[in-house]
């Protein structure tokens, strides 16, 4: 046997030896562990994953399948409801105070600064009036001169009237003498030369009278010219005196200075702007109304003014000229409240929805811009929110405030008050009638402390109905339900009455 054959035989003998006992015990341990883990998993699933059995009231029998609901009564709402829209306070008007004279500013009032409040008549600026006062003196002298000329002319008229009287007497004498000469001439007792002399004397006398009459008319015309000249001088004097008054620039209204553009020492020309004053006597609020809100306002406005909507026949009777004068939209003229809330305090002002802002519907928002006028911004009503009043409240309505405009509207149609929990998605409510569920569509008008004021347009909702306030897993029209809370209905009714 060679060396190679002996090595192969040894290798074959090692391969036929049995496996050691340690490897078998490891395999058995893995199998047992896997079985234990699988058993624990199945046991936990069977214990924790089992569905708990819902206890049932066997005494109810077939009625156990009918769902129980909580319901509250529907209460008729006979008062007004409020339309609430957001708005921004704005100045009623801003006045540009300009100079009406030319000159240099000699004085500027300390209170004439941006942000300062000025009262009507307060002095703002003084402009140099020296040139106007010199002109006033010249015109006063001119008026005195013309008045003296009038006196002189009146004296001339009086003298001329006396001379006219003498000339008239002389003419009368000369005419009498001429008549005597004519008689003598007819009797051939007078020469032609003497007659011509008497006639010449008469012509001279009448000429002297005519000259005095002409002088009187000239003097009378001079009076008219001098009177007109005096009136012109007096008018110029009044203009100069008015310019002197205008050299003192005062505040035309009470308000706040929003811009001051001139300082002491500046030279001004006529119509140069000095300051801008925001008029504080009234305030306005800019707001916008949706279509349905404006419809309520129109309806209420017509009821307030006792003017029912015009029919087509009435419109046909209106002339074209009257139709052009009337406002096609009409003025709302509805009272409202402007409310500003800050620091737990509500401040309210009385206002009036006075007019539309612009020509019609806003193209961006598709709403109707309106203006609310607050006639007296200083008169306000202060109330606390949450039972605590802050020591500081706004003294007046100020431009730029974000406020709420609350318009109290008398609907004129049946309204109802229901709990807020009764409103379902899509503004639907569930009403229980004779143990059956009915789904009705409503329109929410106002949220109150007691509930929600709604409008039911088709008239199906009644004040005797019960409205569901609890959730339902499923619901359908005419589904059978059962109301379980009579005491809740009584409680809600008493709360609304209070």
Whether domain 96-127+248-279 has CATH 3.40.50.2300? no
**Rounded (10°) CA dihedral 290, 295, 298, 299:** -150
Please state which CATH number belongs to domain 65-79+414-497: 2.40.420.20
Residue 218, token pair as written in the block: 């000239």
The residue among 486, 489, 463, 483 whose CA lies nearest residue 74 is: 463
* Burial of residue 324, with CB atoms counted within 10 A of its CB: 0-12 exposed, 13-18 middle, 19 or more buried: exposed
Crossing angle for the helix pair 192-246 and 130-186, to the nearest 10 degrees: 170
Q: Give every CB contact of residue 228 below 8 A, 6+ residues apart in sequence.
A: none
**Backbone φ, ψ for residue 327 (5° rounding):** -75, 120
Cα three-residue angle 455-295-285, rounded to 5 degrees: 110
d(CA 437, CA 482): 9
Domain boundaries, the chain: 65-79+414-497, 96-127+248-279, 131-246, 283-306+329-409
CB atoms within 10 A of CB 281: 14
Q: What is the pLDDT of residue 124?
A: 95
CA 333 to chain centre: 12
Q: Please give the C-alpha separations between residue 377 and each of 91, 389, 395, in angstroms, as whole numbers.
A: 11, 21, 9
pTM above 0.85, yes or no: no
Q: Do domains 65-79+414-497 and 131-246 have the same CATH topology?
A: no
Q: Report the topology of domain 131-246.
A: Helix Hairpins (1.10.287)
Ranges under pLDDT 70 in the chain: 1-22, 49-64, 305-332, 385-393, 457-459, 485-498
**Rg of the chain's alpha carbons, rounded to an integer?**
54
The DSSP line for 336-376 is: EEEEEEETTEEEEEEEEEEEESSSSS-TTT-SEEEEEEES-
Tokens of 71: 């319901």
Q: What is the pLDDT of residue 79?
A: 86
What pLDDT, on the 0 to 100 scale, is given for residue 16? 43
Distances (CA, A) of 440 to 455, 470, 484: 11, 16, 21
Each residue's pLDDT tens digit, 109-150 = 998 999 899 999 999 999 999 999 999 999 999 999 999 999
The confidence score (pLDDT) of residue 186 equals 83
Predicted pLDDT of residue 270: 92
């Amino acid at each position: 046997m060679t060396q190679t054959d002996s090595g192969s035989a040894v290798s074959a003998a090692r391969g036929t030896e049995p496996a050691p006992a340690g490897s078998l015990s490891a395999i058995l341990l893995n199998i047992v562990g896997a079985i234990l883990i699988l058993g624990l998993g199945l046991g936990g699933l069977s214990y924790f994953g089992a569905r708990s059995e819902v206890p049932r009231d066997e005494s109810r029998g077939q009625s156990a399948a009918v769902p129980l609901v909580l319901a509250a009564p529907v209460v008729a709402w006979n008062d007004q409801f409020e339309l609430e829209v957001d708005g921004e306070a704005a100045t009623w008007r801003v006045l540009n105070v300009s100079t009406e004279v030319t000159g240099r500013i000699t004085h500027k009032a300390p209170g004439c600064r941006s942000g300062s409040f000025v009262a009507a008549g307060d002095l703002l600026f003084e402009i140099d009036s020296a040139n106007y006062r010199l002109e006033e003196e010249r015109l006063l002298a001119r008026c005195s001169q013309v008045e003296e000329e009038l006196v002189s002319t009146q004296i001339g008229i009086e003298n001329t009237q006396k001379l006219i009287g003498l000339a008239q007497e002389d003419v009368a004498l000369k005419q009498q003498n001429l008549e005597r000469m004519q008689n003598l001439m007819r009797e051939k007792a007078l020469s032609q030369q003497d007659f011509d002399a008497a006639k010449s004397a008469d012509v001279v006398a009448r000429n002297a009278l005519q000259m005095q009459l002409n002088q009187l008319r000239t003097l009378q015309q001079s009076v008219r010219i001098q009177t007109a000249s005096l009136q012109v001088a007096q008018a110029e004097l009044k203009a100069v005196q008015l310019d002197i008054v205008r050299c003192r620039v005062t505040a035309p209204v009470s308000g706040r200075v929003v811009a001051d553009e001139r300082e002491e020492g500046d030279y001004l020309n006529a119509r140069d702007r000095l300051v801008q004053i925001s008029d504080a006597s009234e305030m306005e609020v800019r707001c916008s109304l949706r279509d349905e809100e404006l419809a309520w306002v129109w309806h209420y406005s017509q009821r307030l003014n006792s003017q029912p909507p015009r029919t087509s026949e009435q419109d046909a009777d209106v002339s074209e000229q009257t139709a052009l004068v009337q406002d096609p939209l009409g003025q709302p003229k509805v009272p409202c409240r402007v409310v500003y809330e800050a620091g737990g305090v509500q401040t309210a002002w009385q206002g009036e929805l006075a007019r539309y802002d612009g020509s019609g519907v806003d193209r961006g928002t598709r709403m109707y811009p309106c203006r609310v006028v607050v006639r007296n911004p200083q008169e306000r009503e202060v109330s606390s929110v949450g039972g605590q009043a802050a020591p500081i409240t706004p003294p007046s309505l100020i431009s730029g405030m974000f406020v709420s405009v609350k318009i109290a509207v008398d609907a004129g149609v049946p309204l109802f008050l229901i709990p807020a929990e009764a409103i379902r998605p899509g503004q639907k409510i569930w009403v229980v009638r004779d143990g059956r569920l009915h789904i009705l569509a409503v329109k929410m008008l106002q949220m109150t402390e007691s509930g929600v004021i709604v409008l039911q347009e088709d008239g199906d909702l009644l004040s005797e109905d019960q409205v569901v306030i609890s959730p339902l897993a499923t619901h359908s029209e005419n589904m059978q339900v059962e109301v379980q809370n009579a005491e809740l209905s009584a409680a809600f009714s008493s709360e609304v009455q209070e």
